Amino acid sequence: MSATEIPTLAPDMRSLPEGTGAARASRYAMVQGRLRPLPSFLIAGPPRTGTTWLHAVLNRHVSLPSPTKETRFFDLNFERGLPWYLRRFPKVENGRPLGEVAPTYFASAEACERIAQTLPQCRILFIFRHPVQRLVSLYRLKRAYGLLEWDIDTALERDPELIESARYATHLACWQARFSPEQLYTALYDDLAANPQKFVDGVADFIGIPHFTLRESELSQVAGTAQLSEPRNFLATRAATAAASWCKVHNLDGLVAGVRKSPLMKLFVGGGAPFAPIPAAALERITQMVLPEIEQLEPMLGRDLTAWKSFPG
């Protein structure tokens, strides 16, 4: 049997001795790791910080989950067990390291603890972006996929992820408490936008792969929501998004990937009116909400974040 294969009769996590889910996963990882490598790095977010772009440029050089980018294993699907998780990865080729681009892990205390127990030697990268710009981008993405139908003020009250994922200093401190400094790498989206090649060189050094030259097309493809719009029909788009999530969990990732690449995608995402501008008063309120986090993050990163302390004009 190849060292990269999981045996058909591999034990399920639930057959292991009693204990917490994370502890059981850790014990299982020690057994399973002898049969198939486990991820050695995670790009843990937060969302809307260039992670989709980074996933695309790294995919030629490392082994990432396929065809679904995000498994949501450590925050939503942990009880499905490591066999479920590892089946999302292609077979390792030419010694490529395994990793995952998983921006929803950043603000999840459960994910942090589970990763610490299951992948204690893992290297973890975070990318921080102007928190107001990032929050607006996440809000618009969720609207485009039919997940939010409220205005920005109501969304801030009803969707905790919008603000929670902007609590950069608070959540970074939690990761720092569970991992050594050598295992954590912090970067700024500003640096990615200013010099993509230098940015990926730093990422490559951190995750342990040779430097590679970005293609010309990749230099201008940092993700954004400018191409997105309101959905044609919120109900239909929301139903399609829920169906896609169900398919991913039930090993039908290929079906979802096929739809994404087909003209059918235009029926479910976008096609409606352009996004309305965010009112200046709302931007100011969001800025005041995240300002303490920005001030705490500055000494943690050793970076001047003055530009983040006022809302974008």
How far is Cα 24 from Cα 291, in angstroms, rounded to an integer? 39
Give me the mean pLDDT over the 24-30 stretch. Answer: 50
How far is Cα 230 from Cα 184, in angstroms, rounded to an integer? 37
pLDDT tens digits for range 55-66: 999 999 999 998
Between residues 37 and 99, the one the model is more confident about: 99
Q: How confident is the model at residue 252 (pLDDT cuts 50, 70, 90)?
A: low
User: Would you say the C-alpha torsion 10, 251, 75, 14 has a positive or negative sign?
Assistant: negative
Q: Is the pLDDT of residue 133 over 50?
A: yes
Give residue 145's pLDDT. 86
pLDDT tens digits for range 190-215: 999 999 999 999 999 999 999 999 99
**185, containing H or E segment:** strand 184-188
Q: Which CATH superfamily is domain 13-228+275-309 in?
A: P-loop containing nucleotide triphosphate hydrolases (3.40.50.300)
pLDDT tens digits for range 260-280: 655 555 556 667 788 889 999
Give residue 225's pLDDT. 46
pTM over 0.85: no
Which residues, 6+ apart, have CB-to-CB distance to 245 below 8 Å?
none
Query: DSSP labels for 247-294?
Result: HHHTT-HHHHHHHHTSTTHHHHS-BSPPPPPPPHHHHHHHHHHHHHHH
Q: How confident is the model at residue 219 (pLDDT cuts 50, 70, 90)?
A: confident
- 77-81, 125-129, 175-179, 217-221 — which is least confidently predicted? 217-221
Share above pLDDT 70 across residues of the chain, in percent, rounded to a whole number = 73
How far is Cα 118 from Cα 21, in angstroms, rounded to an integer? 10
User: Residue 59 in 3-state DSSP?
Assistant: coil
Q: Is the pLDDT of residue 6 over 50?
A: no
Give me the mean pLDDT over the 249-255 stretch. Answer: 62
Give me the mean pLDDT over the 229-250 stretch. Answer: 68
> In the predicted model, what is the mean pLDDT of the chain?
83
Q: Is the pLDDT of residue 224 over 50?
A: no
Which residues, 6+ apart, have CB-to-CB distance to 94 below 8 Å?
none
How far is Cα 251 from Cα 259, in angstroms, rounded to an integer? 15
Q: Is the pLDDT of residue 188 over 90?
A: yes
Give residue 59's pLDDT. 92
